[in-house]
Chains A and B, each alone.
Chain A
């Protein structure tokens, strides 16, 4: 596809804004940003056509990290896919595990004990916190600021990763959820240490807010940039903080109430403008809500088993059928669609990657903005290439 020839054509498809017309008659400058680029969050390429500094067309090119995850899953058992789900959105392995476990539990009708549900919520909210902290840190890193907020975010993330390592044995690739509960029980010592860490998390959000939220340079660079209209967001299937920043009240924790989320009191922050600043602030506010959920869960966690006694670890053959398990992952709606044909391996295993689906509106958000803003808008979508390419 030659970018320059689409100067004035009307594009078919859903709800697209009109293509921005370049001023004057000259050629458009075509640039490929990436895959080797310090701010593309991984291997990702954007073919951009510029008129001076303004973006006229933008085509995202991905697939550089495709690892055949869905095909591999058809060849190994359900249990064997679990460590591969860790590596999808590699910053949030817990939520990937959870979504997959949920899908298989729906497929087999498996029950999950109380304590396991509480542990899932605790780990899931810790994951959400560290994901949002890193995401904001990376966004500011791309704006300059020589990485200072990123280092602060990673300092907090280290504490959470230490908790994960103590419980599951690995900092990131945790492989923790099982079909019917969690793999390992948490000791009372771990729960105490988690309470101590959670007590310090709010101070960090305050520090972050003080450092950044009122910063005039930040506001000047992010407000009004990369606006996503709510109707476009809904039609494109955008989910997660991006959708809520555009003002649409849709949080799967409230809508589905999966697990035991309907027992916790938490609010869903909504933005009004849908620009980069809103997405950044929504993530900050969601971090605060996560702390609230964590405190409630740590107080109410009961004793009991963490694996359902009827759960089978290996060699189980679910009855033929299909199931779609979805959760509110930190990046959006992460869903696993499984079709079983009665064998030990799934017949079809499909991941609904929130990063990829959120990326489809990248061009609409970037049109008309300067090239320097493209990097910011891209950072505010908060993608992980492991999930985009699987």
Chain B
């Protein structure tokens, strides 16, 4: 009969109206900023550089000394909107493995250009750049307020554990494995060097 569909529609809306007082399913508003939804583990917003607090080679502030980035510039090349700008340093410093590596004298990310695609994280071979979760970054300075430099981008490994705990634990495990492999290789190399030196000395004597 004419009007039946309309009445069915009206009952649906009435159900939703009364349901909104009783069930959370029917009232989905989250009153930001007083209430916030907890971010997911994998949430990504803008990149940041990881530094290890315990890795210090020489003086300087903690974040600068422990920066994992070796300025290989792969992320700069792969970034689709080209928002990363890196200047390699002239000297080298030791990384967590003990190898001498370059470091970035300048590492700028323009987060007004960055599209949070996270390709830089994917292609970094050194686990040096990761995705942050902070998004309340608006600023009134429109000539550089959104251009983050090295210091603003550097955040500690502890912070990384806070925001992406599972990922950070996996990264730490991977780096620990690499360190043990590297140490084992170094020990073997040192042992063969000693053996060779002893053999040479033995021959000489």
Contact = CB atoms under 8 A, between A and B. Distances in A.
Do chains A and B directly touch (beta carbons under 8 Å) in the complex? yes
Interface of A: 76-77, 79-84, 86, 148, 152, 155, 158, 162, 165-170, 173, 175, 183-184, 207, 210-219, 313-314
Interface of B: 2-6, 8-9, 12-13, 16, 28, 40-44, 74, 78-80, 115-119, 122-123, 131
A378 to B, nearest CB: 24
A86 B40 CA distance: 21
A203 to B, nearest CB: 10
Interface SS of chain A:
helix
B8 A210 contact: yes
Nearest to A217: B6
Given A84-B80, A217-B6, A168 B115 contact: no
A216 B116 contact: no
**Which of B4, B12, B13: most chain A CB closer than 10 A?**
B12
Contacts, number: 77
A169 B44 CA distance: 5
B146 to A, nearest CB: 19
A288 B80 CA distance: 38
A162 B41 CA distance: 12
Instruction: Give me the 5 closest cross-chain CB pairs, A-B, nearest first.
Output: A214-B5, A83-B117, A169-B44, A80-B80, A169-B42
Contacts of A167: 42
Contact of B119 (A175, A213, A216): A175
A329 B83 CA distance: 31
A314 B41 CA distance: 26
21 contacts: A79-B78, A79-B119, A81-B80, A82-B117, A83-B80, A86-B117, A158-B28, A166-B42, A169-B44, A169-B118, A170-B43, A183-B122, A210-B8, A210-B12, A211-B8, A211-B9, A214-B5, A216-B4, A217-B6, A218-B5, A314-B123
A253 to B, nearest CB: 28
Nearest to A218: B5
Contact of B8 (A79, A162, A173, A214): A214
Contacts of A170: 43-44, 116
Contacts of A214: 4-5, 8
A313 B40 contact: no
Contact of B115 (A169, A173, A210): A173
A21 to B, nearest CB: 35
A183 B119 CA distance: 11
A313 B119 CA distance: 10
Contacts of A86: 117
Nearest to B1: A216
B84 to A, nearest CB: 13
Contacts of B118: 169, 175
B2 A80 contact: no
A313 B80 contact: no
A148 B118 CA distance: 36
Given A166-B41, A168-B42, A169-B118, A215 B123 contact: no
A83 B72 CA distance: 23
Contact of B12 (A77, A80, A207): A207
A216 B5 contact: yes
Given A148-B13, A158-B28, A175-B118, A165 B78 contact: no
A152 B15 CA distance: 13
A218 B28 CA distance: 27
Contacts of B131: 169
Contact of A80 (B4, B74, B119): B119
B61 to A, nearest CB: 30
Contacts of A166: 40-42
B13 to A, nearest CB: 6
Contacts of A314: 74, 78, 123
**Which of B8, B44, B80, B118: most chain A CB closer than 10 A?**
B80
B43 A165 contact: yes
Given A170-B116, A173-B117, 15 more contacts: A76-B80, A77-B78, A83-B119, A84-B80, A152-B16, A165-B43, A166-B40, A175-B119, A211-B9, A214-B5, A214-B8, A215-B6, A215-B8, A216-B2, A219-B5
